[in-house]
Structure 1
Amino acid sequence: MNATAPHGPRGRRLPPHGAVVVTGASSGLGRECALELESRGFQVLAGVRREEDGEKLLTEARYGRLRHALIDITDEASVRASAELVADRYGGLRGLVNNAGICVPGPLECIDGDQLRHQLDVNLVGHLSMIRAHLPLLRRSNGRIVNVTSGLGKTAVPFLGAYSVAQFAKEALSDALRRELAPSGVRVSIVAPGAILTPIWSKVSQAGERALGDAPPAVADLYRSALQAFLEGNAQLAMASRTTPEDFARTVLRALTDVRPRARYWAGADARRAALLARLLPDPLLDRRFRGITALVGAPGPVGRTPVP
């Protein structure tokens, strides 16, 4: 990849060098992103939750430019330690990829305050903590912040309400940061992947069952058939998706190296389509698209599959 002048036309790229922190790199999209950035020339600090995940990632890295660190983005001490490690090891920071996240699925009637707070702590508050801690290093190098959201950052889907709330909020966080940090030379972009087959789908299904188990039986029974059909449909949608983790990783690379980075990048046609529909369709038509998901609410038993439109 050739170096380009810093004010070249859109589509030109900067050379991939310097240090990048990637959170949520234990598996799935974060793992693929960390390995892709390392292969392209970045020094990568991969944030993982368990030492064994980091050791496994090291065996997959091929160029000696990847290191791992235990980073819990919901713990301020862990976040500060991450910034101190970057300063000591690299002296500066070219990019921060806020990829860590969870999904708390289930009808909002079944989501209690603790579950919602956990969803927001991981997918929103923790990322702001990472940004605040690492901003001095990013300012020093006119670095980049890449916030990973999803197609649900623009469209709220039934039974993924808590997750959609967090993703909507992360979009707003990114917009505000992009405007506030522009004078300091730090650029902020969103990467929104669509449905991609990763280990998160098995976790989502298990979490959905737990949400019903924690709800009062009468409430859980109202939603059980509809939620089970929705979760099965979502898993089918992910398995059928043509978007790959590699597509996502290459999109993050673009956000880090485009001379003129965009405010938003989409990884997958479904993510782009969801954003377009959210912008163009009036609320009644959007509501109609999602009626199939909620049609089984109150049904006595699980039948059929209803994937996200």
Structure 2
Amino acid sequence: MVLAHPRQHSPNDRSVVITGASSGLGRECALHLDRLGFRVFAGVRRTEDAEALTAASPSGQLRPLMLDVTCEDSIRDAAAQVAHETCGTGLWGLVNNAGICVSASLECVRSEQLRRQLETNLVGHFAMTRALLPLSRKAKGRIINVSSGLGRITSPYLGAYASSQFAKEGLSDALRRELRPFGVAVVVSPRRSPTPSPRAGRRPATASAATRGPPVCWRDCFRMPCWKRPSAPSSRRGTSLAVSLGSAELD
């Protein structure tokens, strides 16, 4: 499917589902694939996001998909809609992009917050994969599970989020091996990203405070060091994700 890869894929009658498409990476990926001519189902939770995506669609054919990946009924309804609208051609691509980030000292992360983190970033991804797997098998498609560098190495204050990404790496690896005989490719993207680091000679005040002991105030639990490198614009990262989708092959 896409650009910059020696094996280009025709969009003709090929369908892609993208979760978490209301903003950022998911939105840009959905619009990019729509521009290329693929039949795109863009998962959103709110009507206003669906309307905004429809208005921004380059082809005018992008299909918003009302979807909450933490709700089994919503997933079942979305899968039924995709099956109906693909008219027996199957699903060529599934991009599991929906996610949230719980950022806090692990001492202060409540159990319900951790469950929500895992339900959205991990369980929801695989519930979507399971629901759409018959369509993926039919088209011998590919599944892209969006992760981050925190699936390989974690940082303070991001332990809850990183736990979902580490688990996603392991489950994706098992899924890749299980689905290979059926011609379905499974890829984790991005494979790596820069680890945030402080600027030379500067240490954020929040980092210094974090080394002095337990938080004094509950608000301190949700402060994290602002160690951030400039990141690529969402549009460029959306294109990169589309390239991952297009270059996914069996290995």
TM-score range, shorter chain: 0.7 to 0.9
Distance of 2:162 and 2:6 partners within structure 1: 31
Q: Distance in 2 between matches of 1:188 and 1:59?
A: 31
The alignment's C-alpha RMSD in Å is 2.4
- Pairwise CA distance, 1:65: 2.6
Q: Return the offset for 1:24.
A: 0.4
Call closer, same or farther: CA 1:88–1:186 in 2, change over 3 Å: same
Instruction: List gaps (5 residues or longer) in structure 1.
Output: 4-9, 196-217, 264-309
Equivalent residues of 2:95, 2:145 under 8 A apart:
yes
**Larger displacement relative to structure 2 (220-229 or 70-79):** 220-229
Distance 1:75 1:223, change over 3 A: closer
TM-score, scaled relative to structure 2: 0.83
8 Å CA contact 1:189, 1:262 repeated in 2: no
Counterpart code for 1:164: A
Matches within 5 A, 1:121-160: 121-160=119-158
User: In the aligned structure 1, how far is the partner of 2:140 from the partner of 2:243?
Assistant: 16
- CA 1:244–1:60 in 2, change beyond 3 Å: closer, same or farther? same
Q: CA deviation at 1:41?
A: 1.5
* C-alpha contact 2:18 2:26 (8 A) present in aligned 1: yes
Which residue of structure 2 lines up, in the alignment, with residue 42 of structure 1?
38
- Which segment drifts farther, 11-20 or 152-161? 11-20
Q: Secondary structure at the match of 2:215?
A: helix
Aligned residues: 228
Q: Secondary structure at the match of 1:221?
A: coil
Q: Quote how far apart the aligned CAs of 1:124 are.
A: 0.3
Q: Distance in 1 between matches of 2:51 and 2:76?
A: 22
Q: Percent identity?
A: 48
Unpaired runs of 5+ in structure 2?
Answer: 195-212
1:203-233: per-residue Cα shift (whole Å, max 9, x none)?
Answer: xxxxxxxxxxxxxxx9532896696351xx1
Note if contact 2:104-2:224 (Cα within 8 Å) is conserved in structure 1: no
The offset of 1:262, in angstroms, is 7.8
- Could you give the per-residue CA deviations for residues 158-203 of structure 1, whole angstroms, max 9, x where no partner exists? 10000000000111111111110000001001112747xxxxxxxx
Distance across 2 between alignment mates of 1:117 and 1:181? 27
More helix by share: 1
Are the equivalent residues in 2 in contact too, given 1:146–1:189 (CA < 8 A)? Answer: yes
| Higher RCO (CA 8 Å, separation ≥ 6 residues) | 2
Query: CA shift at 1:2, angstroms?
Result: 9.3
Q: Which residue of structure 2 aligns with residue 81 of structure 1?
A: 77
Matches of 2:241 and 2:175 in 1, distance apart?
A: 18
For residue 207 of structure 2, what is the aligned residue in structure 1? none
1:235-275: CA deviation from partner (whole Å, max 9, x where unpaired)? xx25x23x2212222222222222x5387xxxxxxxxxxxx
